[in-house]
């Protein structure tokens, strides 16, 4: 399953944010095992650096968070076509619209997010981590 992972889920894992860390850790185990191929947008990396640095007060830990993301995830380019597609979309949240446009451009199966309601008008299904993991356990997906 090829999925775009929302910034907050990545941060939950990287910064061990409770109460969301356990689900994020299960997702990263699925990524490590090859059951899931995780994608992040290029703009997510700058968000991760900024938030990790603010959270930890350490440039080194912020760099480590970006490095871990680069190792675990495929990176979706955010180019003019993606931004223009996001700009004219029906989604109210521009960051979410960019993520949808990236997922469409990459032909991904789903977007994993804690805010599935924010993606109601998305052309790519939005799933929680738990929904994704349940989907992997279904017999026809082995």
DSSP string computed for 76-120: E---HHHHHHHHTSS-S-HHHHHHHHHHHHHT-SEEE-S-GGGGT
pLDDT at 119: 85
Query: How far from each other are the two terminal CA atoms of the chain, in whole angstroms?
Result: 11
pLDDT digits (tens, 9 = 90+) for 63-121: 999 999 999 999 999 999 999 999 999 888 899 999 999 999 999 999 999 988 888 88
Q: For the chain, count helices (H), then strands (E).
A: 7, 5
pLDDT at 92: 85
Task: Output the average pLDDT for the chain.
Answer: 93
Q: Is the pLDDT of residue 140 over 80?
A: no
Flag the least confident range among 13-17, 37-41, 117-121.
117-121
pTM (2 decimals)? 0.91
Q: Look at the domain 2-141 and name its fold.
A: Rossmann fold (3.40.50)
């Amino acid at each position: 399953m090829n999925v775009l992972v929302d910034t907050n889920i990545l941060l939950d894992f990287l910064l061990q944010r409770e109460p969301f860390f356990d689900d994020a850790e299960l997702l990263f185990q699925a990524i490590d095992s090859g059951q899931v191929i995780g994608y992040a947008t290029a703009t997510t990396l700058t968000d991760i650096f900024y938030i990790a640095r603010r959270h930890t007060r350490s440039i080194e830990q912020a760099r480590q968070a970006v490095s871990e993301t680069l190792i675990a995830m495929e990176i979706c380019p955010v180019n003019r076509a993606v931004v223009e597609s996001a700009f004219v979309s029906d989604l109210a949240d521009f960051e979410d619209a960019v993520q949808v446009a990236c997922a469409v451009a990459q032909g991904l199966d789903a977007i994993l997010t804690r805010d599935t309601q924010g993606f109601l008008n998305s052309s790519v299904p939005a799933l929680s981590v738990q929904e994704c993991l349940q989907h992997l356990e279904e017999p026809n997906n082995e």
